[in-house]
Amino acid sequence: MKLQNKILLITGWGVGVEPLQTLKLHLEKKGFDTQLINIFNVLDRNFRAQLDLVAEVDVVIGWSLGGQLATHLVDSFYKSTGLTKTLITLASNPCFVANRVWQTAMPTDVFSQFKASFLQNSQATLKRFYYLITLGSSQAKQDWISLQNIASPPSNELLLEGLQMLEQLNLVDNLKNYLGPQLHLFAEQDNVIPCKIMENFKDIATKNMSYKLIKDATHAFPYLQVERTIEEICQFLTIHQQS
């Protein structure tokens, strides 16, 4: 039986597509036809082009905010067509900012401070963000510098739209009700997405959903630990294809 072989890969907030080029390359070496795209705004409902991309692929993978966008895409595609795609999220929280029901997320005041900081000095805030997502690795300073050098952030306008999405999107129920196969990978040393999120997923898990904590990994594991990421993705896709 042929393995699902077309993937849409969505990057995260603030980094651009460059940090995921190696992951894309490794997926292609494994035989997956992979298209890598940047973040886009789903709040204005004008994401027809991205939905058209979903129609052409088997699997949608997203990192961080990209995971929320991937979730939104496959869910919207399912609701409009009745067809499911395989969903894989990497270090992604379906509800990024904490609320009364979903508390394992960034506190509201912390997010507000981050947003205000970005509006005041976007470059310094991005630099701080790269520090946070590499913090916890065995060579954090080197990884921080490496990410700064390779990051290709989009326009500030799109980044602000991304912050708005992080603030407003709550896709917990979408995940809970989505009938397609799902894999959600979290990082033990993540300083952006609390690894305690695993406790929340126990409450929303369905028979179609798998989730796993990657040991000794930071929020940036799709960039820093490509081989481990590929291993988890391929293992899940192989098992799903055989079931």
pLDDT at 1 over 50: no
Q: Is residue 32 part of a domain?
A: yes
**What percentage of the chain reaches a pLDDT higher than 70?**
97
pLDDT of residue 45: 75
> Taking all residues of the chain, what is their mean pLDDT, rounded to a whole number?
94
Q: Is the pLDDT of residue 33 over 60?
A: yes
> Does the structure show a pLDDT above 70 at 55?
yes
Whether residue 25 is predicted with pLDDT greater than 70 in this model: the reply is yes
pLDDT at 51 over 80: yes
Over residues 66-86, the mean pLDDT reads: 97
Q: What is the mean pLDDT of residues 69-83?
A: 97
Residue 114 covered by a domain: yes
Q: How many domains does the chain have?
A: 1
Residue 143 lies in a domain: yes
Q: Which of 18-22, 39-43, 61-65 has the lowest mean pLDDT?
A: 39-43
Residue 106: what pLDDT? 95
Per-residue confidence (pLDDT) for residue 219, from 0 to 100: 97
- 1 found inside a domain: no
Residue 242: its pLDDT value, please?
Answer: 54
- At 152 the pLDDT is 96
Q: Is residue 151 pLDDT above 60, yes or no?
A: yes
CATH of the domain at 176: 3.40.50.1820
Strand order in the sheet with 59-63: 33-37, 6-10, 59-63, 86-90, 182-187, 209-214
Domain of residue 120, residue span: 6-242
- Cα 112 to Cα 18, 109, 117, 144, 161, distances in angstroms: 27, 5, 8, 24, 14
The yes-or-no verdict on residue 84 having pLDDT over 60 is yes
pLDDT band at 4 (very low <50, low <70, confident <90, very high): low
**Domain-located, residue 216:** yes
Q: What's the confidence (pLDDT) of residue 2?
A: 47
Position 64 in a domain = yes
Residue 80 placed within a domain:
yes
**What average pLDDT does the segment 151-171 reach?**
97
Tally of CA atoms within 13 A in the half-sphere of 207 that contains its CB: 1
In the chain, the percentage of residues whose pLDDT exceeds 90 is: 88
Q: What is the mean pLDDT of residues 42-59?
A: 90
